[in-house]
Amino acid sequence: MPITTCVFDAYGTLFDVAAAAREAASEPGREEFKKVWPKVANDWRLKQLQYSWLRAVAGAHTNFWEVTQNGLDWALEASGLTDPALRERLLALYWELSAYPEVPLMLSTLKANGMNTAILSNGSPAMLEGAVKSAGVGDVLDDLLSVESVGVFKPHSSVYDLVGQRFGTDPREVLFVSSNGWDAAAAAGYGFQTVWVNRAGEPVDRLPWVPDSRLPDLTTIPQLAASL
């Protein structure tokens, strides 16, 4: 069954989650933060994900913006940073995350090839709209699908159900792309064709399923989608 629909995770897949900390570290007067920003960025992302998983398991859903703030607060405390102005700046920058360089052309090529394109993300609708607007890719995405419509974070199967509900697709028609190995694996278990964008060269997660493909970036997604 040929691929008709390409669906992307947002944070870390289309949008660079380290960009907020990197940009803040380059600003004047942030010498202390400049020394530790990679650790803060890594801790922030890890806690953001961990809190989403824990809330999903515990049935204690909240919006992703609260989870994002909770993760940042932990990360700043872990690095001994207590500047409220820095916290506010990092949160503001998170609404303006830059897309990875290959994203605009990749999405444009998919649309030119007649594919449906969408984001499927833990992010709230407002967060996703902000990121898409900042990156200037709204005209090459057919929809922004958020877990807020089902009230549970990935990798719950009800999140992946949103794709078929929106596009009327069989799972085998969908190419799902994520920078999170666990997300790509769970989506493969759901029945999607999946790609893990493994920019950091990490090992495969030990789960019951594995991603169908692994790529170092998003550049060749259109060619892969056309070949399946």
Report d(CA 136, CA 210) in Å as an integer: 32
Contact in structure between 223 and 3 (CB atoms under 8 Å): no
Average pLDDT over residues 58-71: 98
Q: Do residues 109 and 213 share a domain?
A: yes
pLDDT in tens, 171-206: 999 999 999 999 999 999 999 999 999 999 999 999
Residue 1 has pLDDT above 90, yes or no: no
Same-domain check for residues 89 and 173: no
Residue type, 112: A
Q: Please report which confidence band the pLDDT of residue 221 belongs to, taking 50, 70 and 90 as the band edges.
A: very high
Cα–Cα distance measured from residue 35 to residue 208, given in angstroms and rounded to the nearest whole number? 39
- Rounded average pLDDT over 36-47: 98
Same-domain check for residues 182 and 216: yes
Write down the mean pLDDT value for the chain: 97
By annotation, the residues acting in catalysis are: 9
Domain boundary among 50, 76, 94: 94
pLDDT of residue 133: 94
**Residue 150: CB partners within 8 Å, gap ≥ 6?**
156, 158, 159, 161, 162
> Per-residue confidence at 68, pLDDT binned at 50, 70, 90?
very high
Predicted TM-score (pTM) of the model is 0.96
Q: Are residues 52 and 117 located together in one domain of the fold?
A: no
Amino acid at 149: S
CATH code of the domain covering residue 136: 3.40.50.1000
pLDDT at residue 184 in the model: 98
Domain that holds residue 126: 5-15+98-227
Number of domains in the chain: 2
Residues β-bridged to residue 194:
176
Residue 32 pLDDT level (bands cut at 50, 70, 90): very high
